[in-house]
Amino acid sequence: MFFTFKNYPIIIAHRGARSLAPENTLPAAQKSLDFGADAWEIDVQLTADGVPVVIHDETLSRTSDVQKKAAFSQRKPWLVYMFSLAELRTLDFGSWFAESDPFGQIAAGCLSEKDLHFGKLPVLLLKDALAFTRDMNFKINVEIKDLSGLPGDGAVVEKVLALVKASDMSDQVLISSFKYDYLWQSKSLCPEISTAVLTEIPRPDPVGLLRELDAQACHSLADIIRPVQISLLREKGFYVNIWTVNDPAAARAYAEAGATGIFTDFPQLLNRSIF
- The answer as to whether 43 is a domain residue is yes
- The answer as to whether 245 is a domain residue is yes
- The answer as to whether 230 is a domain residue is yes
168-206 pLDDT tens trace: 999 999 999 999 999 999 999 999 999 999 999 999 999
What is the model's pLDDT at position 124? 98
- The answer as to whether 1 is a domain residue is no
pLDDT at 119 over 90: no
Element (H, E) at 182: helix 180-189
CB 246 within 8 A of CB 217: no
Amino acid at 214: D
- The answer as to whether 3 is a domain residue is no
Dihedral angle sign, alpha carbons of residues 162, 179, 132, 10: negative
Element (H, E) at 217: strand 217-221
Phi, psi of 143 (to 5 degrees): -90, 120
- The answer as to whether 39 is a domain residue is yes
CB 80 within 8 A of CB 54: no
Amino acid at 79: L
What gap in Å lies between CA 101 and CA 108, rounded to an integer? 10
In the chain, % of residues over pLDDT 90: 94
Mean pLDDT of the chain: 96
pTM: 0.97
51-80 pLDDT tens trace: 999 999 999 999 999 999 999 999 999 999
Q: Residue 24: which domain range? A: 10-274
CB 117 within 8 A of CB 89: no
pLDDT at 149 over 80: yes
- The answer as to whether 112 is a domain residue is yes
Of 222, 224, 266, whose CA–CA distance to 246 is shortest? Answer: 266
CATH number for the domain spanning 80: value is 3.20.20.190
- Structural domain total, the chain: 1
210-226 pLDDT tens trace: 999 999 999 999 999 99
Q: Which of the four pLDDT bands, split at 50, 70 and 90, describes residue 271?
A: confident
Q: Which of the four pLDDT bands, split at 50, 70 and 90, describes residue 114?
A: confident
What gap in Å lies between CA 153 and CA 140, rounded to an integer? 22
